[in-house]
Amino acid sequence: MERILEDPIRITVGRQRKKMISDLLSVPEVADLRGVSNACVYEWVAKGLLSTRDRFGRILVERTNAESFVPKPQGWPPGRPRKITKPALLRARRLRAQGATLAEIGKAIGVSSGAVSYALRRDAGEIAD
């Protein structure tokens, strides 16, 4: 009895090349591949971070997209942003070494003399970060 081999199933995705079914992964497969929960993958899909196809009543993710995906850190870094940036702090140190007062330095970089004092003390290690 002769066995008839069928071509692998292919799906057309817009104007892109035809994708083989093996190029697409289900959400649980992506979760296993990335080492995260299914809920996490569904969240990435909902935010549009992974390109997906809805085929056969299931959400399928492109294998290359799932393998190369690097999630971005969510939210802001903790804490309040610094009032004086690093370039401004360098300028403040330079002015202080030249003998400028805290008020003059503050006026030059656009902050209060108290902010200058705090930043210089923090930079010198007198105040813990």
Please report the pLDDT score of residue 4 as a whole number: 44
Size of the chain in residues = 129
2 in a structural domain: no
For the chain, counts of helices (H) and of strands (E): 6, 5
Q: Say if residue 55 is in the same domain as residue 91.
A: no
Structural domain of 101: 86-124
Whole-angstrom distance, CA of residue 88 vs CA of residue 105 = 10
- Closest residue by Cα to residue 83 from 121, 125, 112: 112
pTM for this predicted structure? 0.43
Pair of tokens at residue 45: 């899909």
pLDDT, position 124: 82
Residue ranges of the chain with pLDDT lower than 70? 1-22, 72-74, 76, 127-129
Question: How many domains does one find in the chain?
Answer: 2
* CATH code for the domain in which residue 37 is found: 1.10.10
Over the chain, what is the mean pLDDT? 79
Longest dimension (CA), the chain: 98
pLDDT digits (tens, 9 = 90+) for 68-84: 887 766 676 777 888 88
